[in-house]
Structure 1
Amino acid sequence: MTSKMERLPQELVDLIYLYISHADRCALRLVSKQLYFLTLTNFGNTVFFKRVTTLGVASLNQLLQASGHAQFSGCVTLLDVKLLNYEDYDNLVKIDRVGIYPPPKRLPRVPQVKTGDIRQESKLLEYMRTQQDPTAVIHPLARALKRFRNLKTIRLRVNGLTLYGNLHILAEDEVYQSFMSACFRAVLEAIVRSGVKLQEFTLIKGNSVRPMSKSANLDYRAFALSFPLFQSLGNAFSGLKSLRLSIRTDPKTDSRSQGWEIGVKDFITTTSALETLTLCMDPIDCKPHFRATMMRSICRSVNLPMLKSLQLYGCAMDELDLVTLMKTHAPTLRRLLISDAELRSGTWRSILNLLKNDLGLEYLRFQYLQQIPQSIRWFAEDTKQTGKLIIDATKSGDKNYMNEKLSQAMSSLAAAIQAWEISGL
């Protein structure tokens, strides 16, 4: 005899499923075959929407097995490629040298790696650095991507914080950067070979960028891709809506070839349908002129006809370059977020004036900005923290709301700068 719940319509079962705990969901699915099948789709969408993998052989084999599941492979919409940091690989090598599994207690643990996978995972760093064509990574990853028929997002990140100097990332910096660059290129090759059509590609974990962000903060040299790969990415990224990049422009070596900065610009231009762009750079590196050179290349060359949202974090720019970027995208740009950025020439007041007169923004967020030689402090009436300026016109029905708030911000900024100049005399 069927229970009352088994006789409920699918829509009501779906609503009930959403409001119970994960443990209760698992228990519910074991009550009967009828409830098992009634909850199957929701179970797959809530539990299997994200798959996490490293690029080690064992982890990729598990990903391949998941991609071969007839029901749940279609539920995966996010693939999180998580790279271990340098300390993790160093610990794995130490364990592998001892050759005792599970390892003795005196050896450090790497919680992200199962005991049986230590040997294979420990070899990944050296393998990626020495192979021009790492087929052991590219081929299984491409096969898995092809099977995830509803995949929308690929995220490549590092296990640990990467902004503001993380010792676990910066140790043996050149070695680890070459490893990350090789992994980045391998993921791109797998995307091209699989034929998957993504909506988002990101190097940053989370929706917002802040000092505690976990990202794959790639050396600019990682974007020096071959011309055939750039061409192939143009097709693979033709439907991409969101691109979020984290870039290092200040490696230990100063030797760089002419045109070193154009790789990132060329990578961005492969995304013709892009609506959201996030650019993150390290705001505390000792050579901000490299960041400014990178931004000049992007601002003067990139034209994304569908761009709606732009976020810049840790960037160094000249006023003319930023103005060029905003004017190029004025017809479509509606959200602008700039944080921990440095204006090396010009004034933020001029930028505000441009926003007021030439852009139809709906949301504006400025925070912790610097205008050589001082930091900017906002004193608008509705600003609780003087380092931030937030204007959200979507919450107001007044069409002039944005312009009125920008006018107030310009007046407050002028007063703050005048006070600073007087105090400095």
Structure 2
Amino acid sequence: MQTKIERLPQELIDLIVVHLSLQDRQTLRLVSKQLYALTFTTFSNTYFSRRVTTLGVPSLSRLVKTSAHPNLSSCVSLIDVKLLNYEDYGNLREIDRVGIYPPPKRLQRVPQVRTTTGDISQECKLLDYMHTHRDPKAVIHPLSRALKGFRNVKTIRFRVNGLTLYGNPYISAEEEVYQSFLSACFRAVLDAIIRSGVRLQEFTLVKGHTIRPLSKSANLDYSAFNLPVPFLLSLKSAFASLKSLRLSIRTYHNGNSRIAGWEKGISHVIAAASSLEELTICLQATDSKPWFRAAVIQNICRSLELPMLKSLQLYGCVVDELDLIALIKTHASSLQRLLISDTELRSGTWLSILNIFKEDLDLDLLRLQYLQQNAAPRVIRWFPDGIRNSSKLNIDARKIRDQCWMKERLSQAISSLAATAEEHEISEI
């Protein structure tokens, strides 16, 4: 005999289950086979839409098992490849050396790694394995097999535990080994994507859509993007459906010891996704050699052409006025959202660029914050007449659906910035 809750329509059951905790959902699903079936969709979509994995054997094995499940595999839409950081691997080695499982409280536990003998010892070996194998099949094959099983996966996120965009760009000799490991893991993930035949819509090295200094990221060394031509051709096929690409890159690594054309690799990877609608480029804004960041952005501005680009976000960049104007004009017909943060203009002025925005762009959203320029005034302040958050300019025409309002706000910003520049020139005289 059916209970009252079992006689409710599926829609009402879904509305009720949404407000239950995980423990209450588990208890409810054990009441009867019918309730198990009725709550399965909501339960699986809530707790299985995102799968977090490292590239260690135990974690990948669990991912493959989930991909083989006849019902749960179709719920997964996001694969979060969250690598352990350098300190985590040091803690794992210490635990493995002691050989007590679960480890004593005096030892630092590592997130994502179960406190069993197999998990800790296998995960501990990954660092050395990626250094000694140019074709790491123990990583590529299970990951590609899992991706094949997740027929509805749309997003892959690649990042490092605890690392943010605010991370230190200067690394020690020991940490340089980890950077090489990180690049090898990135290449292995791309290889798995190519072999699996999965058609992604989003690939990101940054967690979240709002970019801030503390945004969790991977901060890949620029050399990780220097891929051979055959690999780039395969990547172009794999990224044919990609709509969103978010990159976080370290340009300071190796100092002046770099080969000619080192900055082109990043542009080549971006160009492989010819159908991109959203592009985010995050560079570390804390290094003392901004000309490396300038070289990367200059190459992107001069070579990139994405006919469907709607949203462009730049963080921590160094750029010349003419290069930025060239990039904007190339994508003026499609661009709808422009966000520039913590960026320095090496030549020219933001006032000139704002005039170009007003004349050539028909934006829905313009956000400019924490901008600098080599010309006076050095630090850009918007509306310096007492309005709060004067270091930020945020114009969102979508809120009132009026493009004329966007133009009006831009005119106000231009007038305010021109007045500030004039006052600065007078004070210098």
Query: Which TM-score bucket, shorter chain as reference?
Result: over 0.9
Which moves more between the two structures, 172-181 or 201-210? 172-181
Alignment counterpart, residue 311 of structure 2, candidates 306, 309, 312? 309
Output one character per residue of 1:209-237: Cα deviation in whole Å (capped at 9) or x when no partner: 11111100001100011211111111111
Are residue 30 (structure 1) and residue 30 (structure 2) matched? yes
Q: What's the CA shift for 1:167?
A: 9.2
Contact 1:86 1:171 in 2 (8 A): no
Aligned to 2:402: 398
Query: Is the Cα contact below 8 Å between 2:169 and 2:252 reproduced in 1?
Result: no
Matches of 1:237 and 1:112 in 2, distance apart?
Answer: 29
Distance 1:381 1:48, change over 3 A: farther
Alignment of 1:84-95 (within 5 A): 84-95=84-95
Change (3 A) 1:118 1:207: same
Q: What residue is the counterpart of 2:337 in the other structure?
A: 335
Between the two proteins, what is the percent identity of the paired residues?
Answer: 65
Aligned residue pairs: how many? 425
Quote the residue 1:183 is aligned against: 185
**Distance in 1 (alpha carbons) for counterparts of 2:167 and 2:156:** 25
Distance in 2 (CA, whole Å) between partners of 1:171 and 1:132 is 21
Contact 1:265 1:298 in 2 (8 A): yes
2:390 aligns with 386
Return the alpha-carbon distance in structure 1 between the equivalents of residues 309 and 368 of structure 2.
Answer: 19
Amino acid at match of 1:87: E
Distance 1:232-1:167 versus aligned 2 partners, 3 A rule? closer
What is the CA–CA distance in structure 1 between the aligned matches of 2:418 and 2:137, rounded to whole Å?
58
Aligned Cα root-mean-square deviation (Å): 1.8
Indicate conservation of the 8 Å contact 2:50/2:79, yes or no.
yes
Distance 1:170 1:366 in 2: 34
**1:261 and 2:257 correspond:** no
Q: Distance in 2 between matches of 1:167 and 1:8?
A: 57
Change (3 A) 1:124 1:326: same
The 8 Å contact of residues 144 and 193 in structure 2, kept in 1 or not, is answered as yes
**285-294 or 91-100, which deviates more:** 91-100
- Map 1:265-414 → 2, pairs under 5 A: 265-372=267-374, 374-379=378-383, 384-414=388-418
Partner Cα separation in structure 1 for residue 41 and residue 386 of structure 2: 46
Cross-structure match for 2:162: 160
Conserved in 1, the CA contact under 8 Å of 2:165 and 2:248?
Answer: no
Q: Which amino acid aligns with 2:412?
A: Q
TM-score, normalised to structure 2's length? 0.95
Aligned residue number for residue 203 of structure 1? 205
Query: How far apart, CA to CA, are the structure 2 residues paired with 1:190 and 1:215?
Result: 20
8 A contact 1:308–1:335 mirrored in 2: yes
Report if the CA contact (8 A) 2:169-2:250 is conserved.
no
Q: Indicate the SS of the match to 1:414.
A: helix
Counterpart contact for 2:221–2:251, Cα < 8 Å: yes
Contact 1:393 1:401 in 2 (8 A): yes
Deviations 1:223-261 (A, max 9, x none): 011211111111111000100000111114321111110
Stretches of structure 2 that go unaligned for 5 or more consecutive residues are none
Question: Shift of residue 90 of structure 1?
Answer: 1.2
Residue aligning to 1:49: 49
CA contact (8 A) 2:76 2:153 kept: yes
Structure 2 distance, partners of 1:122, 1:229, is 29
Letter of the structure 2 residue corresponding to residue 89 of structure 1: Y
Residue in 2 that maps onto 1:144: 146
Contact 1:86 1:169 (C-alpha < 8 Å) held by counterparts? no
CA distance in 2, matches of 1:301, 1:7: 62
Match of 1:39, SS state, is helix
- Please point out which of 119, 126, 129 is paired with 1:127: 129
Deviation at 1:28, TM superposition (A): 2.2
3-state SS, counterpart of residue 91 of structure 2: helix
Do the aligned partners of 1:138 and 1:186 also contact (CA within 8 Å) in 2?
yes
User: Is this contact kept in 2: 1:153–1:201, CA < 8 A?
Assistant: yes
Supply the AA of the counterpart residue of 2:43.
F
- The CA deviation at 1:26 is 2.4
Q: Which shifted more, 167-176 or 237-246? A: 167-176
In structure 1, distance between residues paired with 2:59 and 2:169: 26
Give the structure 2 partner of residue 415 of structure 1. Answer: 419
Shift of 1:168: 11
Structure 2 distance, partners of 1:159, 1:421, is 47
Provide Cα deviations, 1:57-84, integer angstroms capped at 9, x if missing partner: 1111111111111110110000000111
Deviation at 1:111, TM superposition (A): 3.3
How far apart in 1 are the matches of 2:49 and 2:384?
43
TM-score using structure 1 length: 0.96
Q: Distance in 2 between matches of 1:393 and 1:384?
A: 20
Give yes or no for the alignment of 1:77 onto 2:81. no
Give distance in 1, aligned partners of 2:386 and 2:9. Answer: 49
Choose 163-172 or 400-409, whichever is displaced more.
Answer: 163-172
Determine the C-alpha separation between the residues in 2 that align with 1:332 and 1:124.
43
Moved over 6 A (4+): 167-171
What is the rounded CA distance, in whole Å, between the counterparts of 1:166 and 1:292 in structure 2?
19
Structure 1 residue 58 and structure 2 residue 62: aligned? no
For each residue in 1:14-48, what CA deviation from the matched residue of structure 2 results, as whole angstroms up to 9, or x when unmatched? 22222333333222222221111111111111110
> What one-letter code is carried by the residue in structure 2 that aligns with 1:13?
I
Distance in 1 (CA, whole Å) between partners of 2:237 and 2:357 is: 34
* Secondary structure at the counterpart of residue 17 of structure 2: helix
Are the structure 2 counterparts of residues 291 and 166 from structure 1 closer, same or farther at C-alpha, using a change threshold of 3 Å? closer
Give the Cα separation in 1 of the matches to 2:41 and 2:230.
40
Q: Which residue of 1 aligns with 2:219?
A: 217
